[in-house]
Structure 1
């Protein structure tokens, strides 16, 4: 089955452990494995036809991404999506986004902004075509990947990559819980970010933070209604 989540992967594949991480990550994002579900090495090794050692290493990759948690004598589970976790993750992302757009603003060329506009065009086209939310979110994450790369700060990029899989899962949960606002605003909000970036406008940082915090509030509201 061809995956629409290719752009969400965070590492080039180097071996069976990375293959295991990719497969389990995609199962989590597809909802095949739900938040809170256990991930058992023996079952995964059998399903993926690889060794338990490779599975264990793959789960360690996902633990570093924040998608799974392991406890002594409690095994490994997919993280729960809670309001408390959302508060933490979106607060961190808001701070990272402010720094990312501030840094990118001083480096982005006209061609860079044109590429960001083209990415928003792709999101708009996929939205019009009725793309599944997973595809839209992968393109959304890719847009922000570009901003972080433009910032030219490798430690900032690493901090973003450490939470991007969690952000994807949280955003998926937000929409799956019935928040249709995402589809209504995704294009306009990203177009506005590119416009402010191109203009070097003073309100860019606040717009980037608001973009993130509004998403967090929407998820928390959706969780409260669950």
Structure 2
């Protein structure tokens, strides 16, 4: 294992960033143990900084700690997927309809720009498109102007990212076939669409991802 050494800023936050990146790039897959002593050595920080960083990731729902069993990356179970995506569907619905009412012209243009980048860079593959996918939703939540709604999104964002990575891993073709069109539809509806159609579209965007991943887990 060869992780980038942490820069000397807030070392707990920097450690959390590095470990999160390693989880997302597959260095630590779902269910993998995260040992403080090894992480401290690889990141060149104290075990205390690693422990604090892992606590930050646990608050994000990305890792789980148990007494005498250490810390592991969360697994991708059907129950977890169902719970997270059900919560996300409700949040995304509210974020989209609120953004429709509040978004500025610059914020609407930013959504269009992300979609255009998706279309232009579709050949770069699922993980790259996922980063743009999440950036799109970050922008929708920001455009809502609701700080508590943004905090609620941040509470599940890392889990959504990890679960979507698993979705891409098992069916990249299915993900790439829908990602640009679904986000284009959302951007157009937020700009100038029917509120109820937007609400249903935002929810279905999430539930289609949930169904795809649950179908894989059922087969597994």
Instruction: Report the TM-score when normalising by structure 2.
Output: 0.93
Superposition pairs for residues 49-64 of structure 1, below 5 Å?
A: 49-64=44-59
Which one of 86, 93, 96 corresponds to residue 88 of structure 2?
A: 93
Which consecutive unaligned segments of at least 5 residues does structure 2 have? Answer: 1-7
> Which digits, 9 at most, give the CA deviation of each residue in 1:185-214, with x for residues without a partner?
111101101111111413000100000010
Which one of 7, 18, 31 corresponds to residue 13 of structure 2?
A: 18
Query: Structure 1 residues 117-126 or 130-139, which shifts more?
Result: 130-139
- 1:97 to partner: Cα distance: 0.7
> Which digits, 9 at most, give the CA deviation of each residue in 1:61-108, with x for residues without a partner?
110111100011111000000111000000000000111011111112
- The 2-side partners of 1:46 and 1:107 are apart by 47
Runs of 4+ in 1 over 3 A off after TM superposition: none
- The 2-side partners of 1:208 and 1:61 are apart by 29
Structure 2 residue aligned with 1:8? none
Q: CA RMSD in A?
A: 1.3
Query: Structure 1 residues 62-71 or 199-208, which shifts more?
Result: 199-208
Per the alignment, in what secondary structure is the counterpart of residue 124 of structure 2? coil
Structure 1 residue aligned with 2:113? 118
- The 1-side partners of 2:127 and 2:45 are apart by 27
Structure 2 residue aligned with 1:194? 187
- 1:175 to partner: Cα distance: 1.1
Structure 1 residue aligned with 2:210? 216
- The 1-side partners of 2:162 and 2:45 are apart by 26
The answer to whether the 8 Å contact 1:119/1:143 transfers is yes
- Larger RCO (CA within 8 A; separation ≥ 6): 1
The answer as to 2:144 corresponding to 1:166 is: no
The answer to whether the 8 Å contact 2:16/2:54 transfers is yes
> Which digits, 9 at most, give the CA deviation of each residue in 1:5-53, with x for residues without a partner?
xxxxxxxx95111111111111111111111111110111111111000
The answer to whether the 8 Å contact 2:127/2:168 transfers is no
Superposition pairs for residues 96-107 of structure 1, below 5 Å?
A: 96-107=91-102
Instruction: Report the TM-score when normalising by structure 1.
Output: 0.90
Which consecutive unaligned segments of at least 5 residues does structure 1 have? Answer: 1-12
The answer to whether the 8 Å contact 1:179/1:222 transfers is no
- The 2-side partners of 1:165 and 1:134 are apart by 14
The answer to whether the 8 Å contact 1:16/1:50 transfers is yes
